[in-house]
Amino acid sequence: MSTNNPTQVQNTLAEINRNSNSGKGIVFDPQTDELKTMNPAANAPPNTTMITSIAKDGWALNTPVVYAYEQEVTEFIENGNPLKRGAAFGWQDENVYHVHVDFPKTPFSGIPCIAIFAKVSKEEFISDKTTLANKLGIINSSDNGCNKTIFYIFYFDGNTVQKAAFLVTDNSLTECCFQYVPQKSELFSRSKGLLETDVLEKKNVTVIGLGSFGSNVTIELAKAGIGHFKLFDFDRIELSNISRHICGTNDLGRYKTHAIRDAILQKNPFADVQTFEININEHEELLITEIKNTDIILCMTDENRSRSRINALAIKYQKKAIYGRAVTRAEGGDVFRYIPEKTKPCFACLIGKGLFDFQKEEISTTKQADRDLPAYTNAEDRDALVQAGLSSDILPICNLIVKLTLVELSKGLNCGLTSLEEDLVADYYLWANRRENNYKNFPKMEYKANQLSILRWYGVRVDKDTDCPACNEVTIQLGF
């Protein structure tokens, strides 16, 4: 067995570590890339990192890691007072801390700590940090009932920023490993090539309804780098939402708009998110103002009246719109895309042709049942009809909505989604999760490729309804 075998390295480290009270220690020397044993440990040469404990997987753990937001730090260095108290959140068991120059806009997990940011001179930067911390009153201020204090110092030499971070514990300082959460431009660099992230960052998406569909679709779009969101929903997060929603129990009782805004900002702290806790059926003027300045409308509501209104407004203001939903017990679902062109069908054309049957709509909450079922339906029947499908039944439908949205928003660009544009030519799509009810006659998938099957998409050709009262009005107007 080679001496480079990780298990052997791990065992060797663990062996020395077990005898740590003997005064022996291990250091990592960055000049030679080697681990060395030191005896006694206190004699570690400069620039080496002392390894004091061994994690279960064999990796050494001793240096606290702190993350700072590069943009916040840049602003602090350029504009802020030389000494500033910020906020930090830590996971002490894991030795990880996140710091902010100002208290963050979005809720964070971890235990709250204090962060002190200081701009110092070159002399101070290279001086003894415990003395410096004492001089700035930082060590004394750590005795405030808070868990930890993180002390950051910055020295700006005109071209580059020198930085260091320390964890203040019991009047002593431990140097931390400093990590940046990158600025805007780098956040989505991994998607470059596949997505036109620079273009998507400028796009504006309006989402109507933030239930299981709206929440999942919105967060996927934030991950893809969409930069601007308008969120419409007047509901709050309830226990019955949690199993299929992007938000968890920590958001119970909050407006869905606010909880999703915070979830977007966790993915992209630079996103611009506007929230509207209104019933769109009652505040159409506001909706119109916002729709006029959007690139696409995602109609993720489970309510027909608002779907019809969105359709009318999408036609009137020439906006692309996407509709999606699950059908009975999420045995399947359908997605419709409206493109404001003369020859294209609108949402009302789809209904006029007997597609998008409302009777088959999935009833996922008692609130929806109360609203949609006839008033004479007794409570027992109503409860029996509330049969929400699983989140895993919803996600494939959300995924197509996301793909269609990204294709529409990157049309005309040469990027990784260009070929998908040639595939997704249909405006109406059907998905089946299980061979039940509507899909009970589907043959079993097994190994067959050339037949109807569950768990795949079918694009359906839908022609414009020449008698459609919703979209022909515009054609007539345009004709004059």
Cβ proximity to Zn ion, 89 vs 347, nearer residue: 347
Cβ of residue 338: shortest distance to Zn ion, in angstroms? Answer: 9
As beta bridge partners, residue 322 has: 298, 337
Cβ of residue 344: shortest distance to Zn ion, in angstroms? Answer: 9
Cβ of residue 475: shortest distance to Zn ion, in angstroms? Answer: 9
Cβ of residue 308: shortest distance to Zn ion, in angstroms? Answer: 11
Cβ of residue 91: shortest distance to Zn ion, in angstroms? Answer: 54
CA distance 447 to 437: 23
CA distance 147 to 139: 13
Phi, psi of 287 (to 5 degrees): -60, -45
- In a 3-state reduction of DSSP, which class is residue 303? coil
* Element containing residue 368 per DSSP (H, E): helix 366-372
Cβ of residue 453: shortest distance to Zn ion, in angstroms? Answer: 31
Cβ of residue 209: shortest distance to Zn ion, in angstroms? Answer: 21
Joined together, the tokens standing for residue 411 give 């049309």
Phi, psi of 407 (to 5 degrees): -60, -45
Cβ proximity to Zn ion, 81 vs 304, nearer residue: 304
Cβ proximity to Zn ion, 187 vs 468, nearer residue: 468
* Element containing residue 473 per DSSP (H, E): helix 472-479
CA distance 217 to 211: 10
Please tell me whether the peptide bond between 469 and the residue prior to it is cis, using omega within 30 degrees of 0: no
Distances (CA, A) of 249 to 162, 231, 235, 258, 386: 41, 21, 15, 14, 21
Cβ proximity to Zn ion, 220 vs 465, nearer residue: 465
Cβ proximity to Zn ion, 143 vs 463, nearer residue: 463
Give just the sign of the alpha carbon dihedral 103, 108, 112, 113.
negative
Residues of the shown chain interacting with Zn ion in the complex, contacts defined by CB under 5 A:
346, 348-349, 468, 470-471
Contact 215, 256 (CB under 8 A): yes
Q: Any alpha helices (H) in 80-179, and if so which ranges?
A: 122-126, 129-135, 138-141
Cβ proximity to Zn ion, 260 vs 312, nearer residue: 312
Cβ proximity to Zn ion, 263 vs 313, nearer residue: 313
Cβ proximity to Zn ion, 167 vs 351, nearer residue: 351
**Dihedral, CA atoms, 390, 396, 399, 400, nearest 10 degrees?**
-130
CA–centroid distance for 371 within its chain: 31
Cβ proximity to Zn ion, 330 vs 348, nearer residue: 348
Nearest one of 360, 367, 353, 339 to 424, comparing CA atoms: 339
The backbone region for 354, taken as left when phi is positive above 0, alpha when psi lies in -120 to 50, beta otherwise, is left
Cβ of residue 349: shortest distance to Zn ion, in angstroms? Answer: 3
- In a 3-state reduction of DSSP, which class is residue 301? coil
Cβ of residue 323: shortest distance to Zn ion, in angstroms? Answer: 13
Cβ of residue 312: shortest distance to Zn ion, in angstroms? Answer: 10
